[in-house]
Structure 1
Amino acid sequence: MNPVLRGLAANTSLPSELVDRLITVADTDTDTDIAAALAGRSDLSQAQAVELASRFEENAGRLAHEGTLTVADIDPVAQPHIALALLREGADRPEWARRLAEDPMVERRAQLAACPGLPLDVAEKLAVDTDVRVVAELALWTTPELAARLAAHPHAEVRSGVAANEATPPAVLAALITGEGLPLAQRCLVCDREETPFVHDPQCPRLDCDLRPGASCDGSHDSTILDIRQAALRNRATPAEAVVDLVDHPSTLLRWEIAARTDLPSEAYERLAADANPGVRADLASNSAIDHALIRVLASDRDHDVRRKLAHNPHVPLDVLTDLAATTKIGPTLLPRIAAASPAEIEALAASPNAVVRMLLAQRRDLPPEIRDALATDPDVKVVKSIATHPGLSEAQLRAMVDRHGARVVARVATNGDATPALLEDLSRHEPPVQKAFREVARHRHATAPALLACLADKQARPIAAGHPSLPPQVIADLLTDADWQVAEAAAANPSLPLAVMAELVPCPPRP
């Protein structure tokens, strides 16, 4: 790995001719990280994109997605990986798809199976592929008609793909859950490879083994059947009536999936609220479909995570949320219900005697100025730390926070987008030093050279400061040889790095 060249590859000021040189000198075996950085550039020319994709095929998908590769740029016979990338992005080239359906590499046929808009004859061919991985991938993405047929496939892995496909007809998804109307599966990945009964060791030491941890089969393909049901329960197209009967299923994994669904009758949610597993109840608590009566029941749940998830429910009543704030560690985050609070509710929350409630309100970034200013002078440091990043606060207000609360609020004040250059310099010299503040100052758009130089003294802030464009050019150049590779890479990616230094760093391609 060459961190300096990787940083240069991402440098937005790198001239096009140096991009050409980097693509040419990058080694296809060792410089894949440099190629990935080059592929992320927004200024690649079409010729550069083609050359990069030809040399580093793993980047073809990204380049195709960003539109820097087109169908006119490639030879699908010589560059099948690029052809696949373009097909995944919807390229209308049925002849490419037909050719790739005959490809001897299973991986390519499987990638083709995931492409949208496949010609019918190609999809039919992939549906009878000799490798089940190809058929299973097709099942995951194919049309409703073909998905319905593949639901009866003898291999359980294919049925699992059908269960996850949102284009699968609802009646078919219901059948995959109940098994009614479908022949029994004959094979699964476990019994394809192992003598049954077999349970795959989650700590399996075999390097060539790709069975899922805990996969098992006793002849009934039990773990894959469970996977099928999980996928169907997670599928939004699965009808609610097929789900309700599994509310009391012995598998916690299935009940967990059911608890997240938003289309069930209230009776099903009530049964889940009494589930013995707190994880199931916690997921139910965050479900936006549960009613206020059930929310109030869950608010008294003994499990902390259930109550914490309930606080994140967008429909939790404010009085319940206020009670939860007094008994549950929620943390400084913008809760959906507070984000949706009306002007009158905002005033009530701001006047709450509970500092945690005021802290949660202070996470909003659209508060009326009078509410914002009142919270900025709150006596509780939790509230002040939450409001400190709110836009519109003046330098005087931010300095007053630091004067009152000291090191406890310095990092949050440094995060404020309106912090002035002078304030950031003072924060970088604060005594006692605040390590997190150095990192925030180092990434701030208003940071000045003196503030950044102070940040370079902090180990964690040093790589961030090295990439800041306000750092003096000579300092940036000196950091290219830093003992910490992250610092050297950030310096190389700094757009203020002198062009002459960039040119010296990029090797010249060997002469033919």
Structure 2
Amino acid sequence: MLSGLSAHPDARVRAQVALNPNTPAEVLGLLAAQFPREVLSNPGLPLLRLARPGLLGSFPAEGVTALLALPDAPGWVVDSALRHEDYGVRTALAARPGLSPERVTALAGDAGWQVREAVAQRPDLPEPLLRQLAEDEDYDVRKATALRPDLPGDLLRTLVTDPHTLVRANVARRLDLPLDCLLSLATGGDPDVLATLARRTDLPASVREWLAASAEPLVRSAALQAWTVPESWLARAETDADPDVRSALARRPDLSPEVLERLAHDESGTVRRTLLERNDLPDGAILALAQAPEPDLRLQVASAEELPAAALEALLTDESTDVRTILAVRPDLGPERLARLAADESAEVRRGAALAPTLPPELLRQLSADPNAGVRRTLLTRRELPAEVIRELAADPDEGVRLLVAGRAGLPADLREQLAADPDENVRREVAG
């Protein structure tokens, strides 16, 4: 019975099962993830521990992890987690504050690299363990060690020459890296390390210039991500052969309107898409993007919060019905542009016009007589409609239109009577309520 109640939809019932001393160990293990405190408070738990010394070893990993997450988890839970076969449990333990030095030392020698990596991220490591982890066989552990603020200088210089690229790249991220270490890293040819260095501004000007002119696009792009860059770099990047470099340029906050407009005409869609991340584009750039060859890009422009009049005009004649449909529901379109979309050759666009936030009376009447039934049906989703339009639509040849009229609130009695005698059974049912 308790096993069945452990899957009860009411969380309060499941919590009571977790507290029940007669609940089997297997069920407690399943409930521990959701109700860790209740499981630890179960009065039958001490007897279960005596009967099954390795109790938590049979619990699912997520349950033991939840028990460990309790700040006041007892020592026996911590010890059991240390011996749990799932490395995820031991990794969670390695991140737990307040562990004894003996437990930390044991975890630093764990077979799972994820566990040792978590140890390397602890703020309270003694120097012997730091040295051990800095020489770990797994590069992820050494990566974590490389970012520690308390790393002794000799270990830092050892990691500068680490055989793995990502370890050296992490060293290159350190804010306090001595200049000789920076220059040593710059002599290597690995693009990831050089790209990390290229983002820094605390290098000699000649080194920064060398990195900015690297043969690797990744490094040239990274150089443009530095907080400040010389004007000459911006001009050079504008004509760079690689679109990723020009995209990096397009993200810089210090570009002039003229540069932004030229980038909006870039031959690469990657560059144009990058520009759409900005909210400071000049009107000329927006117009260029509104005329881009990629339909999805133009659709993004049509969805923008504010558009200049020239861009709206360009999008009105866009070849994509999706673009024109999105345009139709813009609140800033104006009656003249909306009228053009309400007469569009595509029923989907006219349907969009029927959903416009503000619909002038003449357009409303025009759409109520639209040849496409879907447009007329859409018009009936509007809360406010003139009484004469509703009467006309109540006699519409399309039963779907009449159905929507029948479902409207506040219909006059004579109109309800008319719809109650409708030839379509669904309409009659709808008006009857």
What TM bracket, shorter-length normalisation?
0.5 to 0.7
Question: What is the 5 A alignment of 1:367-406?
Answer: 367=306, 371=307, 375-378=311-314, 381=318, 385=323, 388=327, 392-393=331-332, 400-401=340-341, 406=346
TM superposition shift of 1:169: 1.1
- Asked if 2 retains the 8 angstrom alpha-carbon contact of 1:285 and 1:309, the reply is yes
Change (3 A) 1:115 1:297: same
The residue number in structure 2 matching 1:465 is none
User: Within 1, Cα distance between the matches of 2:91 and 2:7?
Assistant: 26
Task: Tell me how far apart the structure 2 counterparts of residues 50 and 291 of structure 1 sit (CA, whole Å).
Answer: 67
The answer to whether the Cα contact below 8 Å between 1:110 and 1:137 also exists between their aligned partners in 2 is no
Residue 113 of structure 1 contacts residue 134 of structure 1 at CA under 8 Å; is this kept in 2?
Answer: no
Q: Does 1:304 align with 2:243?
A: yes
Show the counterpart of 1:45. Answer: 11
Cα distance between partner residues in 1 of 2:258 and 2:289: 13
Counterpart of 2:188? 249
Change (3 A) 1:141 1:154: closer
C-alpha change, 1:152 and 1:365, in structure 2 (3 Å) is same
Measure, in 2, the Cα distance between the counterparts of 1:55 and 1:428: 58
Residues 232 and 44 of structure 1: is their aligned pair in 2 closer, same or farther, counting only changes over 3 Å?
farther
150, 169, 176: which one pairs with 2:149? 169
Q: Is the 8 A contact 1:166 1:237 kept in 2?
A: no
SS in 2 for 1:294: helix
Separation of aligned partners in 2, 1:240 and 1:388: 56
State the alpha-carbon separation in 2 of the partners of residues 100 and 366 from structure 1. 56
Q: Flag the 1:337–1:131 CA change in 2: closer, same or farther, 3 A.
A: closer
Counterpart check, 1:323 vs 2:249: no
Q: Matches of 2:27 and 2:80 in 1, distance apart?
A: 20
The alpha-carbon deviation at position 301 of structure 1 amounts to 0.9
Check the 8 A contact 1:389/1:413 in 2, yes or no.
yes
Deviations 1:349-386 (A, max 9, x none): 5577994599699477442xxx4565333256389939
**Contact conserved, 1:87 with 1:116, CA < 8 A, in 2?**
no
**Which consecutive residues of structure 2, in runs of 5 or more, have no partner in the other structure?**
19-25, 46-54, 360-366, 383-433
Distance 1:112 1:335 in 2: 41
Give matches, 1:193-342, under 5 Å.
222=163, 225-233=164-172, 235=173, 239=177, 241=179, 242-260=181-199, 267-287=206-226, 289-330=228-269, 333=273, 335=275, 338-339=278-279, 341=280
TM-superposition CA deviations, 1:249-287 (whole Å, max 9, x none): 122332234345576565544222221122332343455
Query: What CA deviation, in whole Å up to 9, does each residue of 1:108-162 have, x standing for no partner?
Result: 5632344342423365333453526365233343115448842444743367425
Cα distance between partner residues in 1 of 2:211 and 2:371: 54
SS in 2 for 1:313: coil
Cα distance, 1:104 vs structure 2: 5.0
Partner residue in 2 for 1:212: none
The CA deviation at 1:315 is 3.6
Report what 1:35 is aligned to: none
| Larger displacement relative to structure 2 (354-363 or 306-315) | 354-363
Quote how far apart the aligned CAs of 1:247 are.
2.7
- Between the two structures, name the one with larger relative contact order (CA 8 Å, sep ≥ 6): 1
Letter in 1 for 2:241: R
Whole-Å separation in 1 of the counterparts to 2:11 and 2:130:
43
Q: Which runs of 5+ in 1 are unaligned?
A: 1-19, 25-42, 185-220, 431-440, 448-512
Q: Tell me the residue number matched to 1:216.
A: none
Q: CA deviation at 1:246?
A: 1.8
Percent pairwise identity? 16
Is 1:178 matched up with 2:157? Answer: yes
Q: Number of residue pairs matched?
A: 337
Q: TM-score, normalised by structure 2?
A: 0.56
For the Cα contact (< 8 Å) 2:213–2:220, is it kept in 1?
yes
RMSD: 5.5
CA distance in 2 between partners of 1:381 and 1:162 (Å): 55
